[in-house]
Amino acid sequence: MTAPRWEVVVLVLVLVLASMGWCVSRTQGGGGSTPFPWDKVRLPRHVVPLHYHLLIHPNLTTFTFTGTVAIDIAVTQPTKAVVLHSKRLRITRAAIEAGARSTCTVRDVRVLQHPALEQLALLAAEPLCAGHNYTVSIQYSANLSDSFSGFYKSTYRTQEGELRVLASTHFEPTSARMAFPCFDEPAFKARFSIKIRREPNHLALSNMPLVKSMNIASGLVEDHFDTSVKMSTYLVAFIVSDFKSISKVTSHGVKISIYTVPEKIDQAHYALDAAVKLLDFYEDYFSIPYPLPKQDLAAIPDFQSGAMENWGLTTYRESALLYDPEKSSASSRLWITMIIAHELAHQWFGNLVTMEWWNDLWLNEGFAKFMELLSVNVTHPELGVEDYFLRRCFDAMEVDALNSSHPVSTPVEDPAQILEMFDEVSYEKGSCILNMLRDFLTADVFKAGLVQYLQKYSYQNTKNEDLWDSLTNICPTVGTENSELQGDGFCRRNQQSSSNTHWTKESLDVKAMMDTWTLQKGFPLVTVTVRGRNVHLQQEHYKKGVDSLSPTENGYLWHIPLTYITSRSHTVERFLMRTKTDVIILPEEAEWVKFNVDMNGYYIVHYEDDGWDRLINLLRENHTMISSNDRASLINNIFQLVRIKKLPISKAFDLTLYMKRETQIMPILQGMNELVPIYKLMERRDMDDTEKQLKDYIVSLFKDLIDKQLWSDEGSVSERMLRQSLLTFACVRRYQPCVDKAEEYFSKWQKSNGTLRLPADVKTAVYVVGAQTSEGWDFLLSKYQHHSFSVDKDKIASALSLTRNKDKLQWLMDEGLRGDIIKTQDFPYILVSVARNPSGHHLAWTFLRENWEKLVKKFELGSPSIAGMVTGVTNQYSTRPQLAQVKEFFSSLEEKSAQLRCIQQAIETIEDNIQWMDRYFEEIKTWLQKNHS
């Protein structure tokens, strides 16, 4: 959301006023009706938690838990009310006691609840005294949550088919309040001392190491964990399960353990080694020791997101942590390494230094996403992680080009708005603008600034500007021959360090520059016009959609760190553009100029006059003259320019012709990413002839490369990932040589009853082809349920969702929501896969509409899962009746649902698709007839 939606704020106030009449005392015998003493979403600031003493006892038979929390608080101004968070907790007793040296005693305490605000108030008869400490004690009980947040129930089946239950937590952003009454906002940092009661056959884990276990009455064990460092409530974690573990100690002396269900413990070794390497890397890079004695990584059988960074006890989806060297693909190894890198980066960025409020979530997530690239590059160079960073920036731009996008830093208030911040803008765009800043400042200056930021704000909360301040007055200690600290405290590069360091002329103000990237939505389009040696530049806000050329856009201006190379020089030149227009003078005229080198900047470029023709010519004649990232960015940019009518579609298609000779993963995947959605739009309109011609054209572009692929697991990670993408693509498009080979593999595999070892990187293609027959589909489903295929579940699910049999597709969605055979955590993925299937898109849309209430209950309003389903099911619609249906359904929902940002995104995307098809369909048809007979 692009600012607090006033309708939502009004709605919250209405709820507050309406509820005041019925938030009455629940315990301590107070009769009558007392208004709730607080009416805001955010808690008052005059009561601050210092230390939580939490005892929690889950019952894994009745799926309930009881708890007692004693919170030491400091009171900074006189108040009769202590207001804190509580959600779905049954409060049985509450008291406030004065601290040891306090003369202010507290007698009567009344408890008021405000479900709409998820708040609880303890009302004292006399005011609590300012400057005194108190202890708030609350006893409560609750049900284990059956969603994926709070203290929730998870299950798995053993190899023998026995159902086992465990309980685990997921609190980010606002669900700690579902497990214990607390001050559930990131700025209320406190220490936690946790005790857990459990059955003797279970194991309890929490953020800190176990100090002692005591046998207590009724055959229970009580585990006492060490007191934590100061931290936010959303990072508290505990698990009660029958997990097994393996451990190692890092070179800095931190014990790392991987926990998983007992029979998958042999898949934990890769993650353990990766975590050891990565934690060591971060301790060295940040120059701050990891502050806890241990770091556990736990694979949870039911988990909504990819992973969670709880301090000292990070939790993961099984597929994000477990790796089988015999069966897992190269893409799975890359994904697991990146996720571990992400969660461990958070131990500093997020846990040690935390954003003050959720409007700056990107300070946590953009950083962790960016640090994946940095850390994996050093610790696992064989993964070639830099090949995939670009994809992320293109994905972010896809969302950021819509009017419904939002600035990286955006005001948010209520829990649904906060959840909506967990999107491409906070994560992907956040990481891309940090990558741009690092490229601009140099790696050394950037690193020195980060270290300064982390050291200065350890155990505290920060805002955007705190980071910019830390990055502004910095001179690196290494490589200083090109830098000098000026009298004004600014570090600048010497004139000689680059031939065109435009920003040496005045002090570099990182805040002024970065505010243009974090406080306004969208990104710039830079138009380049070459006249001899003069290069004229102009910037504007790139926007898709109906009002993309609206006159109100004049206010948008970015400080753009431009980079460029020319046909005459491959030295990267730099120029900071701070105005609407500017001019660069080249030392000599050039055949071509390429801006945004390696796409390190978060902007796109349009080359006026014959600029594009020169670059298309370069690709045709000698594409390896520029890097594969530069080629991928040209493919992306030209199609984005078509969207806003800057270029004809035929020009973009002309550029793709060179791809017959392309062999690198980034440009190939980018080419597919631009071309495949075009025929997907045609599929939804039943335009058979042109659609078939376009499919054939795409296959013909990559045919030579597809034919060269080995059906094995040989080669580098990037070659293996390219193989997986190309063969899956070819088999899904029914390219006959691929289908024949896959059918042969599938029938041998089926005959062996699944015991034949298939190469990991070709499995998806083989499964997709096998799933096209009814008996093949049934066989795959039987293997999906078998424990020995646990690492292949995602690939099998993908194949199952590509059948043309509508009954089977319907069964998949029903089963995914029920959560027995297919876990509900995988349902969003299944629904979107069915929606992408030409035989399934009507079914998926109907399913989403009919089960909306159930989905919101399970996945939470505003969550990335809900957003992914809404946009994933609708993003290939391109007709006015489809648009009308989507608008009608979503406007019929209650206000909070109808206001979701993902719904605005879905509607804008369909409108954009309609315009696109109306404008370009005939032109594509003509181009294909001329260029691809």
Chain segment 628-653, per-residue pLDDT in tens: 999 999 999 999 999 999 999 999 99
Half-sphere exposure of 356 (CA within 13 A, CB side): 10
Query: What DSSP letter does each residue of 628-650 carry, written as one string?
Result: HHHHHHHHHHHHHHHHTTSS-HH
Segments in 21-132 forming alpha helices (H) = none
Does residue 501 carry a pLDDT above 90? no
Q: How many residues make up the chain in this entry?
A: 933
Give the whole-angstrom CA distance, residue 504 versus residue 507: 7
Longest dimension (CA), the chain: 92
Does residue 558 carry a pLDDT above 80? yes
What letter does residue 830 receive in the DSSP assignment? H
Which of 221, 201, 219 is CA-nearest to residue 210? 221
Query: What DSSP letter does each residue of 856-871 carry, written as one string?
Result: HHHH-TT-HHHHHHHH
**Residue given tokens 């945004």 in the structure block:** 596
Tell me the pLDDT tens digit for each residue of 87-135.
999 999 999 998 777 667 777 899 999 999 999 999 998 899 999 999 9
Which of 712, 832, 717 is CA-nearest to residue 332? 717
Q: What is the pLDDT of residue 475?
A: 56
Q: Catalytic: which of 172, 309, 343, 420?
A: 343
Does residue 743 carry a pLDDT above 70? yes
In this prediction, residues 794-816 reach a mean pLDDT of 96
Using an 8 Å Cβ cutoff, are 523 and 640 in contact? no
Cα dihedral 612/615/619/623 (nearest 10):
-150
Token readout for 336 is 């697991």
| Exposure b/e, 110-140, CB count within 10 A at least 16 = b | bbbbbebbbbbbbbbeeebbeebbbbbbbbb
Q: What is the pLDDT of residue 218?
A: 83
Segments in 644-773 forming alpha helices (H) = 649-656, 665-683, 688-708, 717-732, 736-751, 763-770
Q: What is the pLDDT of residue 102?
A: 66
What residue type is 39 in one-letter code?
Answer: D
On whether 911 is known to bind a ligand per the annotation, the reply is no
What residue type is 91 in one-letter code?
Answer: I
Average model confidence (pLDDT) across the chain: 90
Tell me the pLDDT tens digit for each residue of 432-464.
999 999 999 999 999 999 999 999 999 999 999
Q: What is the pLDDT of residue 546?
A: 55
Using an 8 Å Cβ cutoff, are 177 and 37 in contact? no
Which of 799, 727, 796 is CA-nearest to residue 761? 727
Percent of the chain exceeding pLDDT 90 equals 85
Going by pLDDT thresholds of 50, 70 and 90, the confidence category of residue 933 is: low
Which of 883, 892, 887, 893 is CA-nearest to residue 914? 883
Using an 8 Å Cβ cutoff, are 309 and 235 in contact? yes
Q: How many CB atoms lie within 10 A of CB 172?
A: 24
Does residue 502 carry a pLDDT above 60? no
In this prediction, residues 37-49 reach a mean pLDDT of 97
* Sheet containing 560-566: order of strands: 569-577, 560-566, 593-595
Does residue 551 carry a pLDDT above 80? no
On whether 342 is known to bind a ligand per the annotation, the reply is yes
**Residue given tokens 């990104």 in the structure block:** 523
Kindly report each contact of residues 293-296 with a partner whose C-beta sits within 8 Å and lies 24 or more positions away, as own/partner.
293/208, 293/209, 293/226, 293/254, 293/255, 294/208, 294/209, 294/254, 294/255, 294/256, 294/257, 295/254, 295/255, 295/256, 295/257, 295/344, 295/347, 296/205, 296/245, 296/256, 296/257, 296/258, 296/259
Which of 64, 174, 196 is CA-nearest to residue 118? 174
Token readout for 799 is 């194949």
Give the whole-angstrom CA distance, residue 885 versus residue 464: 41
Q: What is the pLDDT of residue 441?
A: 94
3-state SS record for 322-382: CCCCCCCCHHHHHHHHHHHHHHHHHCCECCCEEECCHHHHHHHHHHHHHHHHHHHHHHCHH
Token readout for 45 is 């600031």
What residue type is 333 in one-letter code?
Answer: R
| Exposure b/e, 503-529, CB count within 10 A at least 16 = b | bbeeebebeebbbbbbebbbbbbbbbe
Token readout for 819 is 């959560």
Give the whole-angstrom CA distance, residue 832 versus residue 812: 12
Give the whole-angstrom CA distance, residue 741 versus residue 733: 14
The three-point CA angle 294-296-299 to 5° equals 180
Using an 8 Å Cβ cutoff, are 191 and 228 in contact? yes
Give the whole-angstrom CA distance, residue 861 versus residue 903: 12
* Sheet containing 524-531: order of strands: 581-585, 534-541, 524-531, 604-607
Does residue 489 carry a pLDDT above 80? no
Residues 6 or more apart whose Cβ sits within 8 Å of residue 564? 572, 573, 575, 584, 593, 594, 595, 596, 597
Q: What is the pLDDT of residue 182?
A: 98
Give the whole-angstrom CA distance, residue 456 versus residue 666: 39
Give the whole-angstrom CA distance, residue 912 versus residue 546: 7
Angle between helices 330-346 and 361-379 (to 10 degrees): 130
Give the whole-angstrom CA distance, residue 611 versus residue 641: 13
> Is 343 in the active site?
yes
Lowest mean pLDDT among 518-527, 552-561, 749-758: 552-561
Q: What is the pLDDT of residue 33?
A: 79
Q: What is the pLDDT of residue 25?
A: 37
How many angstroms separate the Cα of 397 from the Cα of each of 392, 411, 637, 862, 867?
Answer: 9, 21, 11, 20, 17
Which of 540, 690, 640 is CA-nearest to residue 916? 640
Give the whole-angstrom CA distance, residue 427 versus residue 617: 36
Token readout for 816 is 């995914």
Q: What is the pLDDT of residue 478?
A: 40
Half-sphere exposure of 736 (CA within 13 A, CB side): 1
Q: Which residue has the higher pLDDT, 844 or 487?
A: 844
Q: What is the pLDDT of residue 14?
A: 32
Give the whole-angstrom CA distance, residue 449 versus residue 474: 6
On whether 841 is known to bind a ligand per the annotation, the reply is no
Going by pLDDT thresholds of 50, 70 and 90, the confidence category of residue 21 is: very low
Does residue 363 carry a pLDDT above 70? yes
- 173 upstream amide cis, omega within 30 of 0: yes
Q: What is the pLDDT of residue 349?
A: 96
Which of 184, 227, 187 is CA-nearest to residue 207? 227
Q: Answer whether 0.85 is exceeded by the pTM.
A: yes
Token readout for 242 is 């029958």
In this prediction, residues 35-57 reach a mean pLDDT of 97
In this prediction, residues 818-835 reach a mean pLDDT of 94
Going by pLDDT thresholds of 50, 70 and 90, the confidence category of residue 688 is: confident
Lowest mean pLDDT among 23-37, 331-345, 605-619: 23-37
Give the whole-angstrom CA distance, residue 626 versus residue 620: 12
Tell me the pLDDT tens digit for each residue of 234-287.
999 999 999 999 999 999 999 999 999 999 999 999 999 999 999 999 999 999
Give the whole-angstrom CA distance, residue 321 versus residue 501: 44
